[in-house]
Amino acid sequence: MLQNAPKNTPENAPENAVEIRGLTKVYKAQGKGAEKQALTDLNLDIPRGSFFGLLGPNGAGKSTLINILAGLVLKTSGTARIWGHDITGATRAAKRAIGIVPQELNIDPYFSPLEMLEVQAGLYGVPEDQRRSAEILEAVGLSDKANSYARTLSGGMRRRLLVAKAMVHSPPVLVLDEPTAGVDVELRRQLWTYVRELNEQGVTILLTTHYLEEAEELCDRIAIINHGKLIACDETKNLMGKLDNKRVTVMLTEDLGEIPESLKRFNVNLIDARELEFCYQPSRVQSSEILAAVQDAGLTFAELATKEPELEDIFVQLTSQPDPGQPDPGQPGTGQPPA
CATH of the domain at 93: 3.40.50.300
The answer to whether position 107 is within a domain reads yes
Q: Based on the number of CB atoms within 10 Å of its own CB, is 23 exposed (0-12), middle (13-18) or buried (19 or more)? A: buried
Instruction: Based on the fold, state whether residues 77 and 189 are members of the same structural domain.
Output: yes
Instruction: Based on the fold, state whether residues 295 and 151 are members of the same structural domain.
Output: no
**CA–CA separation, 301 vs 295, rounded Å?**
8
**CA–CA separation, 287 vs 275, rounded Å?**
16
Instruction: Based on the fold, state whether residues 177 and 252 are members of the same structural domain.
Output: no
Instruction: Based on the fold, state whether residues 107 and 212 are members of the same structural domain.
Output: yes
**CA–CA separation, 235 vs 241, rounded Å?**
10
Instruction: Based on the fold, state whether residues 259 and 113 are members of the same structural domain.
Output: no
Instruction: Based on the fold, state whether residues 171 and 263 are members of the same structural domain.
Output: no
**CA–CA separation, 252 vs 263, rounded Å?**
14
The answer to whether position 314 is within a domain reads no
Task: Let me know the angle formed at the C-alpha of 125 by 78 and 99, rounded to the nearest 5 degrees.
Answer: 45
**Tally of domains within the chain:** 2
**CA–CA separation, 236 vs 310, rounded Å?**
11
CATH number at residue 268: 3.30.70.100
Which of 218, 236, 254 corresponds to the end of one domain? 236
Q: What are phi and psi of 277, to 5 degrees?
A: -120, 125
Which of 183, 211, 236 corresponds to the end of one domain? 236
**Per-residue confidence (pLDDT) for residue 34, from 0 to 100:** 72
Instruction: Based on the fold, state whether residues 127 and 266 are members of the same structural domain.
Output: no
Residue type, 313: D
The neighbour count for residue 186, using CB atoms within 10 Å, is 9
Instruction: Based on the fold, state whether residues 39 and 73 are members of the same structural domain.
Output: yes
**Per-residue confidence (pLDDT) for residue 323, from 0 to 100:** 54
**Per-residue confidence (pLDDT) for residue 334, from 0 to 100:** 32
Instruction: Based on the fold, state whether residues 270 and 173 are members of the same structural domain.
Output: no
Query: What is the C-alpha radius of gyration for the chain, rounded to an integer number of angstroms?
Result: 24
Instruction: Based on the fold, state whether residues 176 and 272 are members of the same structural domain.
Output: no
User: For 78-87, how does the pLDDT look when each residue is reduced to its tens digit (9 = 90+)?
Assistant: 999 999 999 9
Instruction: Based on the fold, state whether residues 115 and 199 are members of the same structural domain.
Output: yes
The answer to whether position 253 is within a domain reads yes
Contacts of 40 (CB under 8 A, 6+ apart): 24, 227, 228, 229
The answer to whether position 315 is within a domain reads no
Nearest to 273 by CA among 258, 285, 260: 258
Instruction: Based on the fold, state whether residues 23 and 160 are members of the same structural domain.
Output: yes
**CA–CA separation, 163 vs 116, rounded Å?**
12
**Per-residue confidence (pLDDT) for residue 259, from 0 to 100:** 92
Q: What are phi and psi of 280, to 5 degrees?
A: -150, 160
DSSP class of residue 143? G
The answer to whether position 225 is within a domain reads yes
pLDDT < 70 regions, the chain: 1-11, 31-33, 182, 242-244, 308-312, 321-339
The neighbour count for residue 249, using CB atoms within 10 Å, is 16
**Per-residue confidence (pLDDT) for residue 64, from 0 to 100:** 93
**Per-residue confidence (pLDDT) for residue 321, from 0 to 100:** 61
Q: What are phi and psi of 317, to 5 degrees?
A: -65, -40
Residue type, 195: V
Which of 191, 217, 236 corresponds to the end of one domain? 236
> Which domain, by its residues, includes 292?
246-307
**CA–CA separation, 336 vs 274, rounded Å?**
54
